[in-house]
Amino acid sequence: MFLLQRSWTEMELLPLVCFCLLTCSGTTFGDEVTKMILKENEDVILPCSLDSTNIKSETFDWKKDDQKEVFMYQNGKLYNNGLSGQDPQFKGRVFHFDDQLQSGNASIFINKTKVSDNGRYSCIFPHHQPRTRSIIELIVDCILKDRTKENKPGSCPEPSVTNLHETNDQALLECKLQGAFPKPKVQWLDSDNNTVPAEEPQVTESRGAYNIILNAIVKRSGDYYCVSTQEEICHQVDRRIQVILQEKTTADPVTQGSNTGWIIGVAVLIGLLLVAVGFACHFKRKSNIGTGSVV
């Protein structure tokens, strides 16, 4: 009976001990996570506050994924102004609201977010309980663009485009990419951004890199673009080629109608003139006969 009672008491104490350990470490059950979604290059404010307490003489620390130092304020000192240790990713890009510290505002402003800023941000007051006052899940959606100059691993260079064969009414275009990874999506587009029907792409792979050839037949003059898209690394690049065909032109119906009317009008006018000349000749002949003249 004593052993049973002792075991029951230990079972009751175990959750309490765990709760105390978690509280002392600054973590509590049910931490709320605020999710924020925005586009690359947009600015963002990560909210955090200590009620309405004046925090000018306090310390608060922002971390990313519990490891990277984003921003720290310590009794008037901060990164790049008395404190060191800020992660290079955030240098010169993160600011606080100094004029709002008296009202407890510990929010930070991140300038021109990057895809690499994706992660979980924690606002921590190390000398208060609970220590963690705000947790933000930041999701930065990328913008598809040419990232060749950013030295993105795997970002393929501009494709090469060629007019393989051309007749009076069509041209065979070839788009070729080499050494791209991850595997890109390749397509032909016209100047209005419409997809041009193409043949099945010819794909070869060597050591994880892809070589792709995509051919398409076009039947109109204009600018055409071979576009390569690698969504995984937010990389998109294109190459333009101009096609000029000897296309058969069809007369505009309005113009054609006007020309027909003009021709008919001229024909009628000539007919009237011929009739008038005929009548004139007839009357002249009768007149000559009446006077005895010989024509």
Rounded distance, CA 186 to CA 162, Å? 15
The two three-digit tokens of residue 96, written as one number: 């606080």
Residue 105 DSSP label: B
Q: Which residue has the tokens 């008038």?
A: 276
Q: Is the pLDDT of residue 32 over 70?
A: yes
Domain that holds residue 178: 148-243
- Do 66 and 133 share a domain, yes or no? yes
Residue 61 domain-assigned?
yes
Rounded distance, CA 95 to CA 26, Å? 25
Rounded distance, CA 187 to CA 196, Å? 8
State pTM to two decimals. Answer: 0.62
CB 281 within 8 A of CB 295: no
Q: Which residue has the tokens 């397509």?
A: 187
- Do 41 and 90 share a domain, yes or no? yes
User: Which residues does residue 288 pair with via DSSP β-bridges, in sequence order?
Assistant: none
C-beta neighbour count of 6 within 10 angstroms: 10
Rounded distance, CA 202 to CA 246, Å? 30
**Domain C-terminal end among 124, 141, 158:** 141
Domain with residue 198: its CATH number is 2.60.40.10
Q: Is the pLDDT of residue 114 over 50?
A: yes
Q: What is the pLDDT of residues 132-150, one digit of tens each?
A: 999 999 999 999 999 988 8
Residue 19 domain-assigned?
no
Residue 262 domain-assigned?
no
Residue 182 DSSP label: S
**Domain C-terminal end among 141, 161, 194:** 141
Q: What is the pLDDT of residues 57-99, one digit of tens each?
A: 999 999 999 999 999 999 999 997 889 999 999 999 999 999 9
Rounded distance, CA 190 to CA 217, Å? 12
Q: How many domains does the chain have?
A: 2
Name the nearest CA neighbour of 104 among 60, 59, 50. Answer: 50
**For the chain, how many residues are written?**
295
